[in-house]
Amino acid sequence: MPGLTAPNALARAYRRFGEGDAAATSPLYERVAVALSESGAALRAVEAAPARRRHPTVILAALHDLALAGRAPALATAYAAADADAAAGAAIDTLLRMTDQVVALATRRKVRADETGRHAVLYPAVAEAAHRAGADAVGLIDVGCSAGFNLRVDRVGITYGDGRMLGDPSSPVQVSCATVGGRPVPARAMPEVVARIGVDDDPVDVTDADEARWLRACVWPDQPEQLARLEAELTLAATAPMELLRGDALDLLPEAFARVPADALPVVTTTWALSGSSLENRLRFLHRLDEAATGRAVAWVSAEGVGVAPAIPTMGDRRASGHSILGLAVFGHAALRADAIGRCWSRGRLLAWVA
């Protein structure tokens, strides 16, 4: 919805969002979005934002952020009480009273999708990478890390559908993952993680209270399970510091590799981070990994749409077929071994291990 310019288009977009996207899961956002679509004054306030920043998810997150910050108490109360009518009135009131603040947030911040729960696919893949490379310590480099949750994959507990458990059962982050197919997920434990490096051109630093609140604001207010998952990740984040490198991954990868101690295997991870890059840049990314592997082994674990991760076999699956491929590439001194080791669905909440 890049160009929400004409008032009627804006009204239609908000109604469509409310009655479509939100209706199934969020009675609060359904009611609020429809109310905004019916208020000329509210739509004019939304028009104060740049055309590309008028999407309901952006404006609603900005309003939610003000509520969480204590700057829109009536809206906060209505959301807490799950009172959709009160929320609709309070959202319009907040938007009209605090248009500048809403627009500033909508312009500055990117809506973050739910980035929790990738661990169930990453954990066995990173352990497999270390096993193949004969490493007993790894340095994690998450490319497109956003808030960096993937970088604590060794600190979580995972329960698979077949009953297998991996990781730390006392961790605040406990994920469950359904499994399909005949092969069990390997029981191998994660080796020691000696470096955690996140690379992103727009990372989220969750140690900053405003940035952490924005992540909470991006969760729809009547989605308590999603909020609980985020809170658990934020609790865990405080226990394992990481380094964040801001900028383009192609430029920063050499620096990231240099930060991994020489006796540890650098394991680059990408989860749904490459699809926005051109094929040329994805091939350059692959080349960067290859270059880094001249003096040491390097591994790359990918969870990306079918055909997105270069060199990772697609197993004959069609692109855009609704699932992703879990890939493992190990760059040795002389050779690259690249395999598809799994298929996954729902951003890693369902896994078929195939290696």
* Nearer to ligand SAM among residue 137 and residue 250 (C-beta): 250
User: Looking at beta carbons only, is 78 or 122 nearer to ligand SAM?
Assistant: 122
Minimum distance from CB of 272 to ligand SAM (Å)?
A: 5
Nearest approach in angstroms of CB 235 to ligand SAM is: 19
**Shortest-Cβ-distance residue relative to ligand SAM:** 144
Question: Can you give the chain as a three-state secondary structure string?
Answer: CCCCCCHHHHHHHHHHHHHHHHCCCCHHHHHHHHHHHCCHHHHHHHCCCCHHHCCHHHHHHHHHHHHHCCCCHHHHHHHHCCCHHHHHHHHHHHHHHCHHHHHHHHHHCCCCCCCCCCHHHHHHHHHHHHHHHCCCEEEEEEECCCCCHHHHHHHCEEEECCCCEEECCCCCCEEEEEECCCECCCCCCCCEEEEEEEEECCCCCCCCHHHHHHHHHCCCCCCHHHHHHHHHHHHHHCCCCCEEEECCHHHHHHHHHHCCCCCCEEEEEEECCCCCCCHHHHHHHHHHHHHHCCCCCEEEEEEEECCCCCCCCCCCCCCCCCCEEEEEEEECCCCEEEEEEEEEEHHHCEEEECC
Judged by beta carbon, residue 59 or residue 249, the one nearer ligand SAM is 249
Q: Residue 320 Cβ, how far from ligand SAM at the closest point, in Å? A: 16
Contact positions vs ligand SAM (CB under 6 A): 115, 118, 144, 146, 199-202, 248-249, 271-273, 276-277
The nearest distance, CB 115 to ligand SAM, in angstroms, is 4
Nearer to ligand SAM, 170 or 278 (CB): 278
- Residue 172 beta carbon to ligand SAM: minimum distance, rounded to whole angstroms: 19
Q: How far is the CB of 251 from ligand SAM (least distance, A)?
A: 8
Pick 100 or 248: Cβ nearer ligand SAM: 248
Of 144 and 310, nearer to ligand SAM (C-beta) is 144
